């Protein structure tokens, strides 16, 4: 789902909010999350997951085109870990989808 798809879904679900209001709300939330990560804070959304920063030390990489060695500097990268509730809900949904897909395949093979 893209940001614009999220805005569209929220606008449909909450018709009292206009598309501009929904867009603004999403922008404010994402900006707050970005600022928290920039400040080195961890973001925890219960039932959904946790956003944090992981440190990647400097390393030597290779340019895939020329094969020459390249020094890759150290950096901080965002990391997301899904919460238990999200993992369980996705697993149930995925299991149901896989079961129906298997049933469709076995029915069509006759």
The structure's pTM equals 0.72
CA angle 75, 25, 10 (to 5 degrees): 110
Q: Residue 43 burial (CB < 10 Å; 0-12/13-18/19+)?
A: middle
Whether 42 and 80 have beta carbons less than 8 Å apart is answered as no
pLDDT tens profile 58-109: 999 999 999 999 999 999 999 999 999 999 999 887 777 766 655 665 555 4
Q: Does 108 or 14 have the greater pLDDT score?
A: 14
Six-digit token pair at 10?
């929220």
């Amino acid at each position: 789902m893209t940001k614009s798809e999220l805005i569209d879904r929220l606008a449909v679900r909450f018709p009292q909010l206009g598309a501009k209001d929904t867009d603004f709300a999403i922008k404010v939330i994402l900006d707050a999350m970005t600022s928290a990560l920039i400040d080195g804070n961890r973001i925890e959304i219960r039932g959904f997951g946790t956003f944090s920063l992981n440190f990647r030390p400097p390393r030597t990489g290779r340019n895939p085109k020329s094969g020459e060695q390249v020094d890759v500097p150290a950096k901080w990268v965002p990391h997301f870990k899904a919460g238990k509730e999200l993992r369980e809900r996705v697993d149930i949904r995925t299991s149901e989808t896989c079961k129906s897909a298997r049933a469709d395949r076995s029915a069509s093979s006759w």
